[in-house]
Structure 1
């Protein structure tokens, strides 16, 4: 059991290098025969003007060439950071970055993306992790900025017995089987039994060493309490379901999902 193909979202920014290295390490871990880099960019047509005095007829080709140049830099970064691996594939186009990634994700067993640094709100980031998680139909690993390695020897599962959480556990099975220890974390909110022990029994029946950890919020947000619990058990990866629903053209997220997507310091594997 493993991931045969791993896809990583790449852009021309230097922060992509760590993300590609992380995806490469995961490919090595599973002996994945294919590591796929994906990049897309859409020209800023707001800069285009039909006013001949503003150089209108000449602006559009320049915008396209700028996009192509950034994608060439992204491809070079991908090739350099993933060097030494036998099978690499590159897919890029002038297109909406999210829509292009969603279309390409059919070829991936696992998608690795990054997220914006909290202390750099002006940073340009083409793909919102939330949109990729909710729409790709694939397990998505969100890499915090500045992290080039995901320690999967100890894994925490943020557990609530819901469809999304069950899907996340199923999607993470290749990683769970390789972990030396899995801890099923539950943050009590008074909504009913946590059923964490049931999940432990399911995992142990599959040969996965697992235990439980429980806490209450005690004034902290649920996401913060969950991350603290995972860190107490030295987890390098947090597996959790992503909760939300479509609201016209936007997604409305549950508070835990929103907070984890915004600021989780651990690698986070999410499924919806």
Structure 2
């Protein structure tokens, strides 16, 4: 089991060299095809009291600037990756999140860095990672800041007996099989026999796949930060978790634990839905 097609998300703004090198490292490990993808959209006209703020000429300039930037990213991607792994490039002017979700159909795994700088939170220039995770139908690995090589010596599995957590464990199996230490934890201040039975079952399932894991319950309220704190304490290289959220008027609302993980740029976060 492995990842044979990895889509590497490159936001149009910010420094992309670290995540390209990270993607190359993964592609080499799994003998995978690495698909570089970048997209951004022209900001729509804004009607203000004095009239339209962005007219057609301004929008054309935006489009040309986006096209030039995407070409620069293609050159950087091919320069860093083309000589070492099998690659493909996809760049387009359009809604970045929607295009990335559409491209997920050719992926076993999506790799992305957190949006940074001016693009962060700009729906026209950066990926809505929450939306991507919940709609792509593929696992998403969100890299830690500026990490160039993938390390998975220590992996932490945030476990709940849910469809999302089961999916995440299955999807992350190639990484878990690489790890020397795997801890499966549940945050529960009122753990029952059923809680421990669930943990025992997932540890047994992992052992069927050659993964030695230890189970632990942390008797605390799940305030969203505990998982990240445990990961920091064990110096985890990777956190595996189900992604929990729901749609409401086209906004994606995450639970506390998922939101905290997405906001922790010091961790490699593997999320499935």
Bin the TM-score by the shorter chain.
Answer: 0.7 to 0.9
Asked whether the 8 Å contact 2:97–2:127 carries over to 1, the reply is: yes
Say yes or no: does 1:113 pair with 2:96: no
Asked whether the 8 Å contact 1:40–1:97 carries over to 2, the reply is: yes
Q: Which residue does 2:97 correspond to in 1?
A: 98
Structure 1 residues 18 and 47: CA distance shift in structure 2, 3 A: farther
**CA offset digits 1:165-213 (Å, max 9, x no partner):** 0000011111112222211122224265252222111111222111123
Q: Which residue does 1:130 correspond to in 2?
A: 130
- 1:30-69 to structure 2, matched below 5 A, reads 30-32=30-32, 34-46=33-45, 56-69=55-68
- 1:1-272 to structure 2, matched below 5 A, reads 1-32=1-32, 34-46=33-45, 56-116=55-115, 123=120, 126-190=126-190, 192=192, 193-194=195-196, 195-217=198-220, 222-272=223-273
SS of the equivalent of 1:46 reads: coil
CA distance in 1, matches of 2:46, 2:78: 31
Q: How many residues align?
A: 266
Shift of 1:68: 0.4
What are the ranges of 5 or more consecutive residues in structure 1 without an aligned counterpart? none
Structure 1 residues 14 and 252: CA distance shift in structure 2, 3 A: closer
Shift of 1:235: 1.9
Shift of 1:11: 2.9
Asked whether the 8 Å contact 1:213–1:229 carries over to 2, the reply is: no
Asked whether the 8 Å contact 1:114–1:129 carries over to 2, the reply is: no
Larger mean Cα displacement after TM superposition, 156-165 or 198-207? 198-207
Shift of 1:55: 9.6
SS of the equivalent of 1:84 reads: coil
Asked whether the 8 Å contact 1:114–1:142 carries over to 2, the reply is: yes
Structure 1 residues 215 and 121: CA distance shift in structure 2, 3 A: farther
What stretches of structure 1 move > 6 A for 4+ residues in a row?
A: none
CA distance in 2, matches of 1:242, 1:57: 40
CA distance in 2, matches of 1:54, 1:167: 46
Shift of 1:57: 4.9
CA distance in 1, matches of 2:217, 2:118: 34
What are the ranges of 5 or more consecutive residues in structure 2 without an aligned counterpart? none
CA distance in 2, matches of 1:266, 1:89: 27
Structure 1 residues 208 and 54: CA distance shift in structure 2, 3 A: closer
CA distance in 2, matches of 1:78, 1:165: 33
Shift of 1:109: 0.4
